[in-house]
Amino acid sequence: MKTLFAAVFILISFFSCDKTSEVKKDSYQQYITVLGIAQDGGFPHIGCQKSCCASFYNGKSSKKSVVSLGLIDQKNQQKWLFEASPDMHTQLAALEQHHLKKETIIDGVFLTHAHIGHYTGLMYFGREAFGKQNIPVFVLPKMKTFLTNNGPWNQLVSLKNIVLQDLQSDSTLILNKELKVTPFLVPHRDEFSETVGYRIEGIQKVALFIPDIDKWHKWKRNIIAEVKKVDYAFLDATFLDENEVKRAITEVPHPFIKETINLFKNQSFATKNKIIFIHFNHTNPAIQENSAERKELEKLGFRFANEGDNFEL
């Protein structure tokens, strides 16, 4: 009899917990969803015959899309995209299939800078592909000049496939009563445009998105202080350490994950837990969920972005 009672209790508890989990998931009205985690070249990477990419071809690891976040507002039936990556076509499809389907494919796209993994997905809005008009693309001044004065991007502008919306650094854009976005400048090889990060604010929580930066010490702000101000910090994790880089780091400057960890070594577990690493190079072992390197860092409190993760705002 005791055994039967225990079994019934476990069964009731299981369904009760499952229902609570579903309610929590469905109750997200405004949230961020991770659509891509890889550096500009994606995973697997062009020209790579090393073990890191061979793991994809032999079926041991999955494809990783180029870095992108979706911002969803179920209450107001709106959705935005952060980055127009080369995988944007499937990332927009993921937003429709798994989050919010509406007549307008997207309510706006926020760009960080003019490196190939962050804006070239705009090509899919052209007449060779989607071919619709008046898709808002939010840009700072140099990015606007770049897209307006260089083909084929200026054709998207002249045909009004995209409509460039002006942003100013440190000036907040109100999306609606629940959501607002603030761009800010960060140092990062600005050959064609400035580079920005974004502060994304909901009613309850705030996120920081900095997929690319040269080094934390080159930024005018203190990254530790900035992380403490938010609930989630999606930070540049291109390389694990200096041993991974086979060319001059001055050509591709990024803060190593180990440098970021060292900066936060004396901070609380709660502060470390706000950090969600994103934008992994294909050579970075932390791009793989089950890697020993990632597991060790997770024990310290740090987190890693996975495609499909949702974060309530």
Cα(238)–Cα(246) distance, rounded to whole angstroms? 14
Tokens of 84: 């127009």
Question: What average pLDDT is seen over the chain?
Answer: 89
Q: Residue 44's pLDDT band (boundaries 50, 70, 90)?
A: confident
Q: What is the pLDDT of residues 235-278, one digit of tens each?
A: 999 988 877 777 666 677 889 999 999 999 999 999 999 999 99
**10: CB partners within 8 A, 6+ apart:** none
Cα(105)–Cα(95) distance, rounded to whole angstroms? 9
Is residue 188 pLDDT above 70, yes or no? yes
Q: What is the pLDDT of residues 8-25, one digit of tens each?
A: 334 444 334 433 333 344
Are the CB atoms for 182 and 172 separated by under 8 Å? yes
Q: What is the pLDDT of residues 284-310, one digit of tens each?
A: 888 888 899 999 999 999 999 999 999
As a whole-number percent, the residues of the chain with pLDDT over 90 amount to 73
User: In the chain, what are the domains?
Assistant: 29-312 (3.60.15.10)
Q: What is the pLDDT of residues 201-223, one digit of tens each?
A: 999 999 999 999 999 999 999 99
Q: Residue 54's pLDDT band (boundaries 50, 70, 90)?
A: low
Nearest Cα to Cα of residue 140 among 94, 179, 198, 194: 194
Are the CB atoms for 122 and 85 separated by under 8 Å? no
Cα(146)–Cα(157) distance, rounded to whole angstroms? 11
pLDDT at residue 9, rounded to an integer: 39
pLDDT at residue 25, rounded to an integer: 45
